[in-house]
Amino acid sequence: MQDVATLMRYRLAMQRELGRGARKGLPVFARVYRRWLESRIRSRGVIPFIVEEERGGPIGSGLIWLTEDRPHLENLNVHVPRIHGVYVEPRVRRRGAATLLVREMLSWIRAHGYRRAVLRTSPRAEAMYVRFGFRRTAEMVREWRE
Ligand SMILES: CC(C)(COP(=O)(O)OP(=O)(O)OC[C@H]1O[C@@H](n2cnc3c(N)ncnc32)[C@H](O)[C@@H]1OP(=O)(O)O)[C@@H](O)C(=O)NCCC(=O)NCCS
């Protein structure tokens, strides 16, 4: 799976960029994440998207991850597509690559009949998602560090 190598490269670049690269656990994370990615791609629980330069190789990627949901009164589908890990190489940013990627992902989501998509984002990407019609919701989280 050549895609997996590209997806992993960008996943780890994103971790580094978000300041998590120095963490001791990164090699273990990489192994576990890769296994998760490969199995989800096989079962079609993850749909990978890779954006390429016109005459070149990959410059960015993102995933649609079909997470499980409960049936809602207005939506009986028990999967909700989650846009995950959108990353574009720093040297080609601000040229619309992420916009292209997200547009493709949203087309896939709509073409497959989903009526809802969710994501978590960084402050840098928020404006782009707002332009695509995303709005913030009020999810709360409680975390235990150990
Ligand atoms: C966030 C990220 C994916 C954006 O990628 P990108 O390819 O630079 O995004 P785009 O070019 O499509 O759009 C980014 C900006 O460039 C602007 N832009 C796009 N094409 C442009 C052009 N031709 N000229 C000038 N500006 C342009 C967009 O309007 C947008 O403006 P904004 O930053 O004020 O919202 C990228 O910076 C990244 O990988 N960051 C690290 C990881 C991350 O934060 N991921 C998001 C988590 S889900």
Taking CA atoms, 38 is separated from 10, 33, 130, 146, in Å, by 15, 9, 31, 28
Average pLDDT over residues 53-72: 94
Q: Which helix (H) or strand (E) holds 92?
A: none
Output the CA 99–ligand 1 centroid distance in Å: 7
Output the CA 87–ligand 1 centroid distance in Å: 9
Query: What pLDDT does residue 86 have?
Result: 97
Q: Taking each helix axis from N to C terminus, what angle separates 97-111 and 123-131, rounded to the nearest 10 degrees? A: 50
Output the CA 37–ligand 1 centroid distance in Å: 25
Q: What gap in Å lies between CA 88 and CA 94, rounded to an integer? A: 9
Average pLDDT over residues 13-18: 90
Average pLDDT over residues 70-77: 86
Q: Which residues line ligand 1 (CB under 6 A)?
A: 14, 17, 86-88, 93-99, 121-122, 124-125, 127-128
Checking if the pLDDT of 21 tops 60, the result is no
Nearest 5°: the CA angle 21, 24, 28 is: 90
Output the CA 120–ligand 1 centroid distance in Å: 16
Checking if the pLDDT of 134 tops 90, the result is yes
86 near 65, Cβ under 8 Å? no
Output the CA 98–ligand 1 centroid distance in Å: 6
Average per-residue pLDDT for the chain: 93
Q: Whose CA is nearest to atom 9 of ligand 1?
A: 98
Closest ligand 1 atom to residue 85 Cα is 48
Q: Whose CA is nearest to atom 10 of ligand 1?
A: 96
97 near 20, Cβ under 8 Å? no
